[in-house]
Amino acid sequence: MFKNEYQGGAFVEIFSAQGKNPGAKWKILGSPSVIWKEFDKEVKSFVFVLEGSSQTNKIQLPKENKQILGLIQRFLVLQIYIPMGQDFSTELLITDLGNIKRRLYLSTVHKELSSTPLHAKIPLFMIKRKIWCNLCIDLVAFTSEIFKGAVFQSLDGIIVSANCKLRKIFTLKSKPPDTADKDAGFGVPFPTDEPTDIIPRSCQLTTDVPQVTQLLNMTKLRQTIIKFGGHPLSSAESDQFINRGTGNVRNNKNQDVCHIAFGSRVLGPPPLSGRRNNMRISSETIRSVGSKTNRACQLSTVEKCVNSAETSALLTSESEEQGDKENIRHIKLTVPIRANLHIMHPHPPQEPSADKNNNRRRLQLKSTSRERTETPSGAEGKSLV
């Protein structure tokens, strides 16, 4: 549309709400109840009003997708008024020197800057509201810094979505002075080598209208991070700020974060997904169940030892019924005591002396029983002789 037109001047006007049918070249997506033209008493001129959902109510230039704008000037200016508490977004189709088409999607819905090789989402939470704003977008800076190695060639498509009042859209050859932030530094050196120029008079609002000119580029995004984050971003950190799916910035920010886990404060961020929690809980339950089974096995082995000891004691007592009853009672008493000691202490210290004494006692009992059985037989033999 503008490819064959002269663009060497100070500006190129793309849209103006003045005239009989200013939206004739635009594709209007939305009913007349949400997109209409009206006369604004504050600015004393006609404006386009876009209301409702920013996803469905929008205007697009050019009207046909096969057409291109072919705008080559660096700065795009939207002369808009954004109400408080309402979403606003604009989408720009750009082409680099490699003839690769990329999209810049600027919206108040986005909370952080993210990008893919062909698409970028840029937050607009710093945009001025409830005042007429000359929103100046640096196309060259966004193209080169977001899409590494890309060089801006032309702006080929514009989409403006609700909610806003739109008066003019134009491009500028030189950067206008930024009047949105008087203290627009916040510790970051603002580049002063670029030439600045005022907005042409034909594009200006009247002087009695409250207005600001807000420049939007990567430097301004870094300044916003400084203002709300509290520390400046270097060039390397700005690369990390562009989220390419690795989540480096989130990890850096969450290193000093604390969270509550099982009633105690723990350093570090909370777990990202419930699946990991379930895996951790399942592993803990498996460990606890395993420990319980081990304890049960230990108790069962102890009980088996007790039962075997008792059975052995009963067998010895039955085999030695003909012996001395006092010694048998002593054996029956000593065996349960040892079993109870096993139950109280699953792993008792080895006492070889006690075992040897018990063995000696059993040998003594057996020897005495033999002597008693042998003595009457000997006496009978003597009497027979």
219-256 pLDDT tens trace: 888 777 676 654 444 444 445 555 443 343 344 444 44
Strand partners, 175: 196
| Cα–Cα distance measured from residue 57 to residue 28, given in angstroms and rounded to the nearest whole number | 8
**What structural domains and CATH numbers belong to the chain?**
11-233 (2.60.120), 275-373 (no CATH)
Q: What token pair was written down for 222?
A: 């870094």
Most distant CA pair in the chain, distance: 157
CA-CA distance, 320 to 275, in Å (whole number)?
A: 66
Residues 14 and 61 sit within 8 Å (Cβ to Cβ): yes
Phi-psi region at 15: left, alpha or beta (left = phi > 0; alpha = psi -120 to 50): beta
Integer Cα distance of 237 and 259 in angstroms: 26
Least confident span in 140-154, 261-275, 332-346, 356-370: 332-346
Highest mean pLDDT among 38-52, 220-234, 303-317, 338-352: 38-52
| Spatial CB neighbours of 105, under 8 Å, sequence gap ≥ 6 | 89, 91, 119, 120, 121, 122
Average of per-residue pLDDT values in the chain: 73
**Sign, CA torsion 201/204/207/212:** negative
**pLDDT of amino acid 198:** 92
What is the per-residue pLDDT for 166? 97
Cα dihedral sign, 183-187-191-192: positive
pLDDT value at residue 281 = 47
% of the chain at pLDDT higher than 70: 55
Pair of tokens at residue 50: 């876009």
At residue 20's C-alpha, the angle toward residues 19 and 22, to 5°, is 65
CB neighbour list of residue 133: distance below 8 Å, 6 or more residues apart: 79, 80, 81, 82, 127, 180, 211, 212, 213, 214
User: 93-130, pLDDT tens digit by residue?
Assistant: 999 999 999 999 999 999 888 999 999 999 998 899 99
Decide: residue 73, CB within 10 A, 0-12 exposed, 13-18 middle, 19+ buried.
buried
Least confident of 29-38, 96-105, 148-157, 231-240: 231-240
| Residues present in the chain in total | 385
Per DSSP, helices labelled H in the chain are 139-146, 218-229, 235-241, 248-253, 274-319, 325-344, 352-384
Q: What pLDDT was estimated at residue 51? A: 95
